[in-house]
Amino acid sequence: MADVFSVSLHAISGGNTFPRKTANRTGNFSGDDEWGESGTQSLLSLLTVIGTSLSIVGVVLAFITYTLFSDLRTVSGTSLLNLLTALFLSHLLSVISVEKVDDHGLCLTLAFLLHYLWLSVHCWLTVMARDMFHTFRDNVNLQLSPLTESRKSILKCIIFAWGLPGALTCLTALLHTKDQSDKQPFVVPTCWLVDNVSLIYTFVLPAAVLIVADLAYFVHSAVVIRYTASMQMNRRTAQKMRSRRYLQLFLYLKLVLFQIVTWMCCLLAQLADLFSLWFAFSVLASLQGFFVAMAYSCNSNVFRLYSKSLKESRTKKKVRSPLRQKRSTHFGPVDAL
């Protein structure tokens, strides 16, 4: 199984198919060169299947976690739930798209859906970066209080993160309908758009702009953290504030760097035409959902909420058990009669 991004972005400079390589219906490449080695194909297929499966399972568990606890359903938590939704659907459709899709219309529909969902992932990361910056800027205390934004503000984020990819996907469909000369604007084995104009102007450039915006929010957030920490009169309080906020900041930075490393592997592989870089890119792309889920689920805040919930449930059981014993002792003689 070949990752859809490996197929699509490698085709930017080489047309609609891989140069000097052919692909079978499952997306595996065949030939006499190093790209067609059966052992490498099997290993790449196995790793991408494992990575995509881990991503789907991790995203589902993280979604359940952020749905269970009301403390996590803040503005940033709502943005994360939307990000997890986009990642889940994109990974699920990526698995479906590499199967045998003989219907041309269905394959084209999957291509447009994947185009839309992966753009939505980038948009929701930018929304989360914006929320992080405003949270740090508007809180000068040690304990962060979530932003109490209105429904209109949240609605604007939803319109941006789901609407902008929709507009770009509609533009892609418009370019596709106008370009009648291109008989196959997508890769059949993976159902992913490979038209040069569509990819560059409606995917690559918007994703690059969003990543630049993420880095800009990160730099501004770092400056705000340093400024708010310097305002604290107590040095110990300032150190605690700086350490806690930098911890959250670097958590988000890991996600952005993971995206950058993934796409840099793709671009370097595009320029150098090295299979090893395409191999790394395919594996990293399949693990995006798993990495996001682990970053936001396996942390001290979530563990604290789970432990608190377990303690509360145990306390309720201890309170209920004496009551049940009293009721049983009170009604025992009556039951005996």
The reported pLDDT for the residue numbered 50 is: 86
CA distance 324 to 170: 63
Instruction: Write the CA distances from 303 to 300, 306, 312, 328, integer angstroms.
Output: 5, 5, 14, 37
- 3-class SS of residue 26: coil
The reported pLDDT for the residue numbered 1 is: 38
- 3-class SS of residue 29: strand
**What is the CATH code for 4-121+149-194+260-290?**
1.20.1070.10
The reported pLDDT for the residue numbered 83 is: 93
Residues 98 and 26: beta-carbon distance below 8 Å: yes
Single out the residue of 4, 25, 228 nearest to residue 117, CA to CA.
Answer: 4
- Lookup: tokens for 168: 């770009």
Residues of the chain with pLDDT under 50: 1-36, 147-148, 180-182, 186-189, 330-337
CA distance 51 to 298: 18
The reported pLDDT for the residue numbered 188 is: 46
What region, left, alpha or beta, does residue 192 occupy, with left being phi > 0 and alpha being psi -120 to 50 degrees? Answer: beta
Q: For tokens 């914006």, what's the residue?
A: 130
pTM: 0.77
The reported pLDDT for the residue numbered 178 is: 65
User: Residue 248: which H helix or E strand, with range?
Assistant: helix 235-272
* Tens of pLDDT, residues 254-300: 888 898 888 788 777 767 777 778 788 888 888 999 999 888 888 77
Amino acid residing at 74: T
The reported pLDDT for the residue numbered 16 is: 41
The reported pLDDT for the residue numbered 212 is: 93
The reported pLDDT for the residue numbered 242 is: 81
CA distance 76 to 255: 15
The reported pLDDT for the residue numbered 48 is: 79
- 3-class SS of residue 298: coil
Classify burial at 12, counting beta carbons within 10 Å of its beta carbon; exposed 0-12, middle 13-18, buried 19 or more. Answer: middle
- Lookup: tokens for 144: 């962060």
